[in-house]
Structure 1
Amino acid sequence: MNSTEKTIIGFIGTGVMGNSMAGHILAAGYPLVVYSRTKEKARELLEKGARWVDTPKQVAETASIVFTMVGYPTDVEEVFLGDNGLIRHGLSGSYFIDMTTSSPSLAGKIYQEAKHKGIQVLDAPVSGGDIGAKEARLSIMVGGEKESFDAVLPILKLLGSNVVYQGKSGAGQHTKMSNQIAIASNMIGVCEAIIYAEKAGLDPEAVLKSISTGAAGSWSLSNLVPRMLKADFEPGFYIKHFIKDMKIALEEANRMDMDVPGLALAKSLYDQLAERGEENSGTQALYKYWKS
């Protein structure tokens, strides 16, 4: 998997994060074919030398390693299992790596369908947002066969600084659910802390300097609060996608007969924001819940 001359890589989904991720692969010298529902989103990659194709089918027929980074489980199912999808048209010996946050059960279904055709599939959701994607510092959580993980690890390392094999198919998605559960409650605490500081008459930026390096420190506190304070609510990660993730996590927790009150509360707050038209804002827009 180390030969950039022979290994053609495909990338499906060139949105906020996918565009940067695909760019790292291209910059490493791999021939890259891309597909996205909106061709304009791939314009920068095409200008740098990537080749456009019109369907996932053409990606599967061209590339021996394919990454997908799409929006919802329904999109994942269509890309992998649809009539023009990767599994139907992929070649035996190919590796397909889904980096979308999706359901563990769907990951298992895709893995089984692919295995019948001699295709290896990994579920490899990521965390780190647009910043992590741009700086190739994503945390990548991988499920599937260990041999497949080892085979594509050098390429995964082009995208992330923390690439961890978690276990069998679906394990990557379960790990991402743990990640999202941790973030969900943390985002409430982060916003409440900053709003409290403001209502107490403090300088929130000075407060941030004090608390971000102590026991309260978190990625969200350090990276998203500065955006909140600048009224920058552009998406590093969309609220609508976070709601999707929390819904999956709630469903999985319910299957395990587990109560997750923090997660349920966070989803209810984000649902209210989405109802106010904030679904395409970044997750830091939770700050607006207390400001409205």
Structure 2
Amino acid sequence: MTDPAKPNNRLQMQAPSYILPMEDTDFLVNRDELRGLRFAVEYYKADMILRDWGVRSTVIVFGSARIPAPEKSAAALAAANTPEARAKAERAAGWVHYYEEARAFGRLVSEEGGALNLVDGQRDNVIATGGGPGIMEAANRGAHEAGAPSIGFNITLPGEQEPNAYSTPDLTFRFHYFAMRKMHLAMRAAALAVFPGGFGTMDELFEILTLQQTQKVTATPVVLVGKAYWNKVINFEALTESGLIDSADLGIFDIVDSGAEAWAALQARGLKPASRKRRK
């Protein structure tokens, strides 16, 4: 029996204030005043894990999440049982070759860039993507097929968002803050390859181009894959003709048609495979 003469500390033990701060999820997650701390934790978690893996530099791949893998496209075509569904599946099928080019690019960079082997405890030119489906999946898949690690920087979204099955599990991250995710995508980037995409891809591309144009980051090679697409959706020449950018700004990037051409263009712009770095 409880001794009525002895004070009971049950309420004190159960009070939110008594929870260790590091174990108080509600306090850490829901207080506006701790946003800076949450921001720092997102930075350090990914940074420390990448350091543990020896990831010194990355090759970033951006592109649409809506471009299907060939097997998914074939399944969608087979399942289409209305004219509308058939038209949608056929439109998606027209993009499949970009999936295959991104897949080939991821494999080629991983085989030749230095991601396969640690050199003095470091890996260079590791494929890194936004971690989702479509072009991101394709690049991670190519790296996976080469037997190399690759990175997926996922973001928490209102809708269901899951990582693709090909990024290395230990290097598959999830961020709450877009800004921190973008920072991690950029901070180790030795090069950037951008495949066709929508608003998100344009946002990522132009942020990198702006950082380079304004010299806020070290200049890194940039390549856009898909001449027909890029020349159709963006009139780069009109930007220079209008005087809103300098003609030299168009020299920040190349536009090519294949994953192999993209890898060659990045090397022509100064990207060094790890084997060449060792000989310096």
Query: Above 0.5 in TM-score?
Result: no
TM-score (norm 1): 0.33
TM-score by length of 2: 0.34
> Could you say which structure has the greater relative contact order, defined with CA pairs below 8 angstroms and 6 or more residues apart?
2
